[in-house]
């Protein structure tokens, strides 16, 4: 039987999943969390899917061995190409999994007025068709417009400065979405909420942006309550961080994104090479 006192685990290719962690810390502050950023393999968006699936399986197994009560895939690309892998590994430990794609699709399908939903994501996520399938499963006739934005996540991860070249890059990615007349946009990478104001300016305030953080935090809460694993009490839980790349660079960027102290970040390595 799984102990409700165990932490919730989540992983991402880098720091983007911290947008999910932040929402979980707000919605479920009493829980403990373990976060792993696979910065040595970043970005996932253009990597070989077969190799990524091996890596994702190794990360999941590593987190489960530490003792966790839930695994959150805080990465859209990892969800799109490896959700089944995570579920298979987690099932061996009797642990449930919360992905990031389905919760966003559910919200987007519910709030769109004109039925035209955009998806801005990495190359691997778009090519996987994960969002299209998830939106089709909502039971509404939707026109789905998917755009790959390969340069956007690395720009955010690097903490690069916003300039006119950045705006032009974003305008180029948003152009097909504007032409299609979308009224709802799924931010199909957990890094993207960090540039939501820029995207909102380009698309206009009438376009609703659906990020992964709120949707996943709500799904985490439902899952824990349904399984009887929600922690009681109102004391703040703890959190700890691991990364596969340099600790110092992860800590600097992650602190800025999370807006909270990280404490000691520990480095881990996997046999599946980056």
244 assigned to some structural domain: yes
Q: Residue 193 pLDDT more than 60?
A: yes
Query: Do 112 and 191 fall within a single domain?
Result: yes
Query: Do 87 and 183 fall within a single domain?
Result: no
Sign of CA dihedral 143, 176, 121, 193: negative
* Residue 96 in tokens: 């449930």
- Choice among 64-73, 142-151, 263-272 with the minimum mean pLDDT: 263-272
Total domain count for the chain? 2
Determine the straight-line distance between the first and last CA of the chain, rounded to whole angstroms: 35
The residue from 163, 183, 211 where one domain ends is 211
37 assigned to some structural domain: yes
Q: Residue 162 pLDDT more than 80?
A: no
3 assigned to some structural domain: no
151 assigned to some structural domain: yes
Alpha-carbon distances, residue 79 vs 10, 135, 141, 255, 260 (angstroms) = 12, 15, 24, 25, 26
188 assigned to some structural domain: yes
Query: Do 189 and 259 fall within a single domain?
Result: no
Instruction: Write the CATH number for 191.
Output: 3.40.50.1860
Query: Do 226 and 207 fall within a single domain?
Result: no
Query: Do 73 and 160 fall within a single domain?
Result: no
User: In 3D, which of 110, 199, 115, 108 has the Cα closest to residue 149?
Assistant: 199
Active site residue 243: no
Active site residue 189: yes
The residue from 186, 211, 236 where one domain ends is 211
Residue 212 three-state SS: helix
Q: Residue 160 pLDDT more than 80?
A: no
Q: Which of 24, 174, 189, 243 is catalytic?
A: 189
272 assigned to some structural domain: no
User: pLDDT digit string (tens) for 86-145?
Assistant: 999 999 999 999 999 999 999 999 999 999 999 999 999 999 999 999 999 999 999 999
- Host domain of residue 153: 101-211
Sign of CA dihedral 67, 73, 136, 139: positive
User: In 3D, which of 180, 210, 207, 172 has the Cα closest to residue 192?
Assistant: 210
Query: Do 87 and 221 fall within a single domain?
Result: yes
Query: Do 163 and 147 fall within a single domain?
Result: yes
Query: Do 19 and 95 fall within a single domain?
Result: yes
User: pLDDT digit string (tens) for 139-153?
Assistant: 999 999 999 999 998
pLDDT of residue 10: 97
Query: Do 223 and 205 fall within a single domain?
Result: no
Alpha-carbon distances, residue 235 vs 25, 228, 238, 260 (angstroms) = 12, 18, 10, 17
**Three-state SS sequence of 229-262:** CCCCCCCCCCEEEEECCCHHHHHHHHHHHHCCCC
Query: Do 197 and 227 fall within a single domain?
Result: no
The residue from 211, 231, 254 where one domain ends is 211
| Residue 1 vs residue 130, higher pLDDT | 130
Query: Do 36 and 55 fall within a single domain?
Result: yes
pLDDT of residue 161: 65
Q: Which of 24, 75, 174, 243 is catalytic?
A: 75
Query: Do 112 and 205 fall within a single domain?
Result: yes
Count how many Cα atoms sit within 13 Å of the Cα of residue 237 in the half-sphere of its side chain. Answer: 24
């Amino acid at each position: 039987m799984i102990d409700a006192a165990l932490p919730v685990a989540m992983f991402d290719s880098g720091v983007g999943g911290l947008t999910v962690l932040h929402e979980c810390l707000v919605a479920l502050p009493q829980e403990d969390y373990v976060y792993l950023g696979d910065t040595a393999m970043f970005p996932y968006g253009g990597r070989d899917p077969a190799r990524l699936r091996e890596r994702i399986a190794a990360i999941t197994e590593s987190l489960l061995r530490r003792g966790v009560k839930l695994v959150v895939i805080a990465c859209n690309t990892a969800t799109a190409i490896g959700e089944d892998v995570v579920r298979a590994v987690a099932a061996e430990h009797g642990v449930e999994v919360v992905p990031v794609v389905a919760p966003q699709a559910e919200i987007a399908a519910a709030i769109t007025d004109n039925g035209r939903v955009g998806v801005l994501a990495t190359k691997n996520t778009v090519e996987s068709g994960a969002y299209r399938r998830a939106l089709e499963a909502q039971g509404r006739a939707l026109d789905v417009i998917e755009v790959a934005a390969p340069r956007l996540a690395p720009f955010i991860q690097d903490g690069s400065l916003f300039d006119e070249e950045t705006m032009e890059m974003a305008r180029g990615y948003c152009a097909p979405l504007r032409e299609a007349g979308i009224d709802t946009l799924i931010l199909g990478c957990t890094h993207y909420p960090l540039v939501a104001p820029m995207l909102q300016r380009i698309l206009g305030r009438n376009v609703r942006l659906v990020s992964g953080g709120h949707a996943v935090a709500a799904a985490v809460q439902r899952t824990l309550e349904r399984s009887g694993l929600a922690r009681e009490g109102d004391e703040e839980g703890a959190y700890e961080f691991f990364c596969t790349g340099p600790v110092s660079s992860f800590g600097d960027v992650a602190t800025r994104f999370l807006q909270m102290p990280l404490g000691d970040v520990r480095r881990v390595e996997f046999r599946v090479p980056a």
